[in-house]
Amino acid sequence: MKFFQLSDLRAPIAVFDSGVGGISVLRALIEEMPNENYWYYGDSANAPYGTKSLEKVRELTVAHVDRFLMKGAKAIVVACNTATSAAVRHLRQKYPSVPIIGIEPALKPAVLSKNNPNVIVMATPMTIREEKFHNLMGRYLGMAHIIPLPCPGLMEYIEHGDIHSLELEQFLGRLFEPFEKKKLDAVVLGCTHYPFVSRELKKVLGEEVMLFEGGPGTARETKRRLLEAGLLTDSRKKGSIYFDNSQPSAEKQRLCERLLNIIP
Ligand code: DGL
């Protein structure tokens, strides 16, 4: 990886997650800003984050961001709901002049999708436990019936490249067993891995259930922040994507490319 100046408009935007999940956000970023260069980093060696302690996830996240900035990334997208709730405030205090964009469960569009809808928020145990999520949920109480659903064990399927199998369908079936599916209006995919299992989720929940993901909103916010900072690329050519992983292998690289090319 080349070293860049912070002021270099063609320096990459670092996008990171605990593994391959953030590729659902990268996909939205590329759609919004195709000419930017991206440095995607998956910390697969330390995945999952969602069942770790807050301190551990914060420590890992800060270490990654220190490295991205040392190497000259012009902006950081924390494409992980768990790492965002653990560390984004801390990161913004540490690097006030760098655009640092986090992700949160797309609860707002789900709540506004219908009058008083029944909404389930799927996320990691840490995302659901943290103050950031409680504040978010607090904003919409009274406007919807919201049920948080921690999903330990789900990201591992995607991390292993399983986005379509009987075993996965059965796992999802067990997860939603306690709920009356006919009464469910919307499901928020509050972990960046989950959009990759949308198809299986629809099989379990029915085609009518609306699914909401945070990637597109995060991509729009990233563009807005880069514009504001005068950091949008001046290139007119399609940008590059560099896949980096703490557990690199040809298989991981192939999985990243495969997930990026899936049309949601
Ligand atoms: N993709 C991450 C998120 O958005 C979490 C997966 C994990 O547990 O590491 O929360």
CA dist 116 and 54 (Å) reads 33
User: Could you read off the pLDDT of 125-160 as tens digits, one per residue?
Assistant: 999 999 999 999 999 989 999 999 999 999 999 999
User: Could you read off the pLDDT of 215-225 as tens digits, one per residue?
Assistant: 999 999 999 99
Ligand 1, atom nearest to 103 Cα: 4
CATH number of the 107-213 domain: 3.40.50.1860
CA dist 15 and 27 (Å) reads 11
In CATH terms, the fold of domain 13-103+215-259 is: Rossmann fold (3.40.50)
Altogether, the residues listed in the chain come to a count of 264
Structural domain boundaries in the chain: 13-103+215-259, 107-213
Task: Report pLDDT for 141.
Answer: 87
Gyration radius of the chain's alpha carbons:
18
Ligand 1, atom nearest to 22 Cα: 1
Q: Residue 80 catalytic?
A: yes
Does any ligand 1 atom lie closer than 6 A to the CB of residue 50?
Answer: yes
pTM exceeds 0.85 for this model = yes
Task: Report pLDDT for 84.
Answer: 98
The residue whose CA has the least distance to atom 2 of ligand 1 is: 80
Helix (H, G, I), strand (E, B) or coil at 42: strand
Taking a C-beta distance cutoff of 8 angstroms, is the pair 79, 192 a contact? Answer: yes
The domains spanning 13-103+215-259 and 107-213 adopt the same CATH topology: yes
Check whether 4 has a pLDDT greater than 90.
Answer: no
User: Could you read off the pLDDT of 92-104 as tens digits, one per residue?
Assistant: 999 999 999 999 9
